[in-house]
Amino acid sequence: MQHFVAVAEEKHFGNAARRLNMSQPPLSQSIQRLEAELGVTLLERSRRKVELTRAGKIFLEEARRTLRQADLARAMTQRAGQPIPDVRVSFIGPALYHVLPSLIVKFRSAVPDVHVRLFEHPSSRQVEGLQHGEFDVGFVTAATDRTDEFDSFIVERSRIVAAVPANGPFAEHTSVALNELAQQPFITPPQRYSIYSKDMLEMFKAVGVMPQVTQEATQTNTAISLVAAGLGCSLVPATAAVAHVRNVKYLPIIDDTVRTVAELAMIWLPKHVSERGKSFIELVRAQVDESQPPQDLDTLL
């Protein structure tokens, strides 16, 4: 199945063989044996490329599902055999500014014999990891797509603000408009990885301008560091202000025609959550219920 998926995705036996770190003849023989066993043709071969047959398209979908399940079985079995029980928590950078540290402290106090393992990843990578059983829960941008199959709830709301160099053009400003930001070098997350980047650009479109994107940064902390170096401005959750990064100033956005609220959500797949993970979810849910509605951190500015 691994061999077939590689060939189907590469649409080329040579490229698939390099991806699998094997020579091409054994790979071709492997696919031939698979087709003989199934009694159907999965691939239409030509000198230039490989195309899936109708049966091949169906088998590709099922093979991917089977391989994901095998990875999940391996991950969950390995975790069950660990001598020290753990909860695996993935997160985006903004979760560390306020909400996540306090949750970890409370969980360790309530369940001291369970180790909390932290993994920082973009929201899209967390979705994949949760599907494969790598993490118990993830803290992601609430607008993240591909999360329909997950359970979730909002744990924090924060205004979106402008992060600007403190010694730059906005040094004397107490607020800023998006059309002013659009005239400066701008830093965004890569669009192919982040729905937040798309939302950010939509904010500018709503007021009839587009920023001069000169730099991309996957993580919020990286974007803020670039702002501190004077390389541009960015939009970040107001919670970032608690980090007190030198030469970074945070300004409220005065445009009232755009949505300027960032929401942080905790997501999980019930069927993949360990018993310790369930305890963590219960603690977070209780914490959020105590502070309903989820805390809006406008007072940071």
Compute the distance between CA of residue 206 and CA of residue 262 in angstroms, rounded to an integer.
Answer: 17
Compute the distance between CA of residue 183 and CA of residue 168 in angstroms, rounded to an integer.
Answer: 13
Taking the CA atoms of the chain, what radius of gyration do you get in angstroms?
Answer: 24
Report pLDDT digits (tens) over 145-163.
777 889 999 999 888 999 9
What is the predicted pLDDT for the residue at 296? 47
Report pLDDT digits (tens) over 30-65.
999 999 999 999 999 877 788 999 999 999 999 988
**What averages of pLDDT result for each successive group of 10 residues across the chain (301 residues)?**
92 91 92 92 85 92 86 71 79 90 91 90 88 91 79 91 94 93 91 70 89 89 93 92 90 81 91 88 86 50 51
Distances (CA, A) of 296 to 79, 250, 266: 36, 16, 16
Residue 135: how many CA atoms within 13 Å on its side-chain side? 25
Joined together, the tokens standing for residue 29 give: 């023989």
Distances (CA, A) of 58 to 67, 92, 204: 14, 35, 42
Joined together, the tokens standing for residue 108 give: 């360790």
- Of the candidates 221, 217, 212, the residue with the CA atom closest to the CA atom of residue 178: 212
- Of the candidates 295, 43, 270, the residue with the CA atom closest to the CA atom of residue 157: 295
